[in-house]
Amino acid sequence: MAKVRTLILRAPGTNCDMETAFAFQQAGAITSQVHVNQLIRREEQLSDYQILVIPGGFTYGDDISAGKVLANELKLKLGEDIQNFIDRGGLILGICNGLQVLVKAGILPGTHNGGGQAITLAANDSGRFECRWVCLKVNQDSPCLFTKGIESLYLPVANGEGKVVATSEALADLNIVLYYTDEHGNTNAGYPYNPSGSVGDIAGICDSSGRIFALMPHPERHIRGTQHPRWTREGAKKYGDGLKIFLNAIKWAKKNL
Model pLDDT for residues 145-172, shown as the tens digit of each residue: 999 999 999 999 999 999 999 988 899 9
Are 154 and 235 within 8 A, CB to CB?
A: no
Are 209 and 198 within 8 A, CB to CB?
A: no
Are 134 and 154 within 8 A, CB to CB?
A: yes
Q: Which of 19, 135, 220, 228 is catalytic?
A: 220
Q: Which of 144, 218, 222, 228 is catalytic?
A: 218
pLDDT at 179 over 90: yes
Q: At what angle do helices 68-77 and 97-104 cross, to 10 degrees?
A: 50
- CA atoms of 147 and 222, how far apart (whole Å): 15
pLDDT value for 117 = 84
Q: Which of 44, 73, 96, 135 is catalytic?
A: 96
Closest alpha carbon to 153 in 252, 240, 26, 24: 240
- CA atoms of 225 and 112, how far apart (whole Å): 39
Under DSSP, is residue 34 helix (H, G, I), strand (E, B) or coil?
strand
- CA atoms of 102 and 179, how far apart (whole Å): 19
pLDDT value for 118 = 84
Q: For domain 5-255, is the CATH number 3.40.50.880?
A: yes
pLDDT at 49 over 80: yes
Global pTM reads 0.96
The question of whether 220 is a catalytic residue gets the answer yes
**Mean pLDDT in the chain?**
95
Q: Categorize the per-residue pLDDT at 1 as very low, low, confident or very high, splitting at 50, 70 and 90.
A: low
Q: What is the pLDDT of residues 67-113, one digit of tens each?
A: 999 999 999 999 999 999 999 999 999 999 999 999 999 999 975 55
